[in-house]
Amino acid sequence: MSIRLKYVLVFLLTLALVGGAFTIGLNTLRKEVLRNEAEAVADQVIAFRAWVAGTGMVWVNKLAPDFPDWLAERKCAGTTFYGKNPALATRELSTIANKTAMRATYLVTSDEYRQPKNQPDAFEKEAIGIFKEDKARKFVDGYVGNTYRYARPIFVKKSCLKCHGQPEDAPREVIEKYGSEKAFGYKVGDVRGIVSVKLPTQSWQDLLMIFANPVAIGMIVFAFLVNFLFTQNVIIKRLGKLTSDVTAIAKGKLSTPLQYTDPKKSNDEIDHAYHAVDLLKKSMNILLKRLKK
């Protein structure tokens, strides 16, 4: 193969490698962006749940039409107040958030769920199992179809034992509403459940738009153009000229001029090759003169 063809093949291979590295980088970036977004959602959910758990229960004097559920009822000064525990408050918040969310939706779920709507799907069941086996695990994530899935564990704290410890210690309202069979027997540090976040995956077009900066694209194109022109003009064309000059000398045209920079002033290997040919030409001239004598 000619050097020109070899260069084209190497150039194409370089483009392929750069493209592969770029694709891997985009995929990593996509997952990092989605993970950061999911982590932010999970942080807010866990913070809200902790706040409700810290107060014991949130009391409201009016039930919204979409959220008629409540755990406890109290009357005070002629007004009826309805209590919502952490699980119930979080579920109602998630319902509102999921209806209005542009991207992220979430669910707080467990393998010991008390509400049918909180039943975990296959990804969530697997995540719960992973967290129970490895409590040091910070998160579980992955892709399910065109959806990015993220799960964060929720651990039992001392304040949780009031409703999730032993049935005999639970408030009367909890037993009346949920019974004494489900979601009891936990200890501090156990995995109670997870915060499960769903996000639509970002398309390659969306990711490419991040890099669709005219200056950046121009610099990349310019870099490849400089590489191509340099190789063509400084190396391949000069080697082609050297080949034609050497061929002419080999055919007896010893007067063929050789244009190059003195090797004493140049580190260019092609200049050195020219100089070697020039020395050979001079030696042939001397040899011919001696033969004529």
What whole-number distance in Å separates Cα of residue 105 and Cα of residue 147? 11
The DSSP call for residue 189 is T
Q: What is the pTM of this model?
A: 0.67
What CA–CA distances, in Å, run from 107 to 66, 195, 198, 270?
Answer: 17, 6, 9, 69
pLDDT, tens digit (0-9, with 9 covering 90-100), for 200-257: 887 766 666 666 667 777 887 888 888 888 888 878 888 888 888 888 888 888 888 8
CB atoms within 10 A of CB 276: 11
- Residue 147 pLDDT exceeds 80: yes
Average pLDDT over residues 42-48: 92
pLDDT, tens digit (0-9, with 9 covering 90-100), for 5-22: 777 788 889 888 988 887
Provide the pLDDT for residue 211: 63
DSSP H helical segments within the chain, as ranges?
3-55, 86-100, 122-133, 161-164, 172-178, 204-210, 214-230, 237-250, 269-292
Asked if residues 166 and 160 have their Cβ atoms less than 8 Å apart, the reply is no
